[in-house]
Chain A
Amino acid sequence: MSTAAHSAAGGPLARLSDALWRSPRLLLAILLGPPLLWLGVIYLGSLFALLLQSFFSIDHFTGMVVREFTLRTYAELFTPANFDIIVRTVTMAACVTLASAIIGFPIAYYAARYARGRWRAAFYLGIMMPLWSSYLVKVYAWKLILAKEGILNWALDGIHLQWVLDAYLSLPVVGGNSLSVSPTGTFIVFVYVWMPFMILPMQAALERVPVSMLEASGDLGAQPGQTFRHVLFPLALPGVVAGSIFTFSLTLGDYIIPQIIGTSRLFIGQAVYQHQGVAGNIPLAAAFAVVPILIMGLYLWGAKRMGAFNAL
């Protein structure tokens, strides 16, 4: 009698609680269901819907998509003009990643090892602060800094070093009429914008390297360079690779910086944007969007082979 009264008092909520306790799998399903649905349907589903588009083609006059399976759109990626876009973007991403690592490593090392107290806070703030302001504002600011009649030229003119810049800009491939319309300008702004994403993971990795190991290396007679090559760098590599994944993939996908700063030559992100948003050629845009996914797949596979994820 009393047990019956108890369960009656508990009502449906108590029965639900009992049911969940009796079958933990149900509880698991309820907890994991929504996020899995999100990941599976909304996140991956929309990605697959995009990829599916890449197997369609476009009627070139009306601009309407022809929904028939074809590989013609992928073949278009290998026309010289389109292939140039891919090569140009990957080269830029590689250069930006390399430069970010080279510039970022000493900063991360100093911030992780030597900066203390207020200095440490200042370093964190200095690295993070550019992330607080709008990306577009930063890019437009750089356009003004690098412009022919911008502050950089004005300053160089003031210290009579204009000829150095002019000599550099007269070089083929990297040069141009002014920094703001040269590939170098695009490169500088890319490095500036993505640098924090390189420094932060490196700093985290460097903080985890035990000082004792560096001291042991020194005690055993290693030169600083040897310690760096054989002890510090391998131990910090996971951080460098993590950072490089950010800078590489972000450069690969960006479409705003090369539109505002540079030579008007397209990058993959712009090609996707133009073909999708401007020309309405969604199939070709989707095919272009597959390229960074493939490249990043290869990149991650290579990083894994290098053992970069073992320490994570």
Chain B
Amino acid sequence: MTRNFITAVVTAITAASVATGAVAQMTAIGEGEGALSIVAWAGYIERGETDAAFDWVTKFEEATGCMVSIQTANTSDEMVALMNEGGFDLVTASGDASLRMIAGKRVQPINVDLVPSWGTVDDRLKDAPWHTVDGVHYGVPYMWGPNVLMYNTTAFAEAPTSWSVVFEETTLSDGQTNAGRVQAYDGPIHIADAANYLMFHKPELGIKDPYELNADQYAAALDLLRQQRTLVSRYWHDAFIQIDDFKNEGVVASGSWPFQVNLLKADNVPVASVIPQEGATGWADTTMLHADSEHPNCAYKWFEHQLSSNLQSDLSVWFGAVPSVPAACSDGRGMQTQEGCDANGLAQFEEIKFWKTPVAQCESQDQCVPYYRWVSDYIGVIGGR
């Protein structure tokens, strides 16, 4: 009797907590609220203003009446800061930002049953750890892609096979050293690129995951980055400043995004990109909904729009990224083709280590160096420490 009573109480409490959990999650989509604000990477939400051929907003606005406003952000940290500040509905968060926002309760669980096209999402992304915590989805996959090695084809007779060109001093095929002519990303997550390089070249360090580093592995990565500092004149964080540096500053190699590669190629600058033998880090972005969003209905309409419209296909052409809906590569809903998807990295999914936030309690070993140390130490490395 008593035991039954306790069981009943426990069941009731569990049910109640499940119910409160479900309150935060939408159960039905109503009328649109007329507006939707999105924090996004530059070039992610295009309405045909940069180039008339690339537009995946106008039709959405016409169909739903949800007027889209965009706040661009340059780094993941900036995205987290904007979402912490509030006032936005959606964010296209990379894996190094998404878990922080989930932990900070800045985003709400997503009811995937309300997104009819959820089933078309790449199976490898459906339950990806950067947006799914304890089986609860906190977002809808948006787009993914590798951090490629961009290089100038006049300085490199053939495509570089290793990231060593941005980490070690070497003489390039144009007869000059690479010192002062390479760049690196101005964000702490770049430490993972160094770790990824060491994972390949110094197996004795035992790095299993470039985002899960113990003290020794972390120190080795920082040493490599200090060596890189002597080669790098300026770090890049703004895509357009990097483009200018490739044009006017004599920069010939850098980790980059296909976005810059495409824009430079369109400008007839002799550049190309490659994923070297070490593999690459990459981003997999997820559209997440703010916990206090004022336009949740419009947001759910956007979730469906992002999976089912021309967005996946055209954005992957525009940004040089890979759709989260594999069918978008080939079904002719936009401009992308299967060859285009493969060129953007679809075939290399397994070689890409997607951005995620480094945490102290990591899976592959006992104790890892957490993200806040990455932030302060990377500032130190750039400062010459």
Contacts and interface: CB of A to CB of B under 8 A. Distances in A.
Real complex partners, A and B? yes
Interface of A: 60-64, 76, 79-82, 84-85, 88, 143-144, 147-150, 176-178, 180-181, 260, 262-266, 271, 274, 276-280
Contacts of A276: 81
Interface string B57-100: 00000000000000000110110110011000000000000001
B77 A149 contact: no
B203 interface: no
Most B Cβ at <10 Å: residue of A178, A181, A264, A276 = A264
A233 B77 CA distance: 50
Interface string B347-385: 000000000010100000000001110011101101111
A84 B84 contact: no
A177 B180 contact: yes
In order of increasing CB-CB distance, the 4 nearest A-B pairs are A60-B372, A177-B180, A81-B380, A280-B81
Interface string B109-139: 0000000000000000000000000000000
A84 B384 contact: yes
The main secondary structure of chain A at its interface with chain B is: loop
B248 interface: yes
B372 A266 contact: no
Contacts of B74: 278
A56 to B, nearest CB: 14
Given A148-B249, A280-B84, A266 B233 contact: no
Nearest to B102: A62
Contact of B233 (A177, A260, A277): A177
Contacts of A61: 100, 103, 357, 359, 370-372
B174 interface: no
A105 to B, nearest CB: 33
Given A61-B100, A263-B234, A85 B359 contact: no
Contact of B248 (A81, A88, A149): A149
B30 interface: no
A168 to B, nearest CB: 15
A62 B379 contact: no
B9 interface: no
A262 B235 CA distance: 10
Q: Which residue among B85, B233, B371, B382 has the maximum number of chain A CB atoms within 10 Å of its CB? A: B233
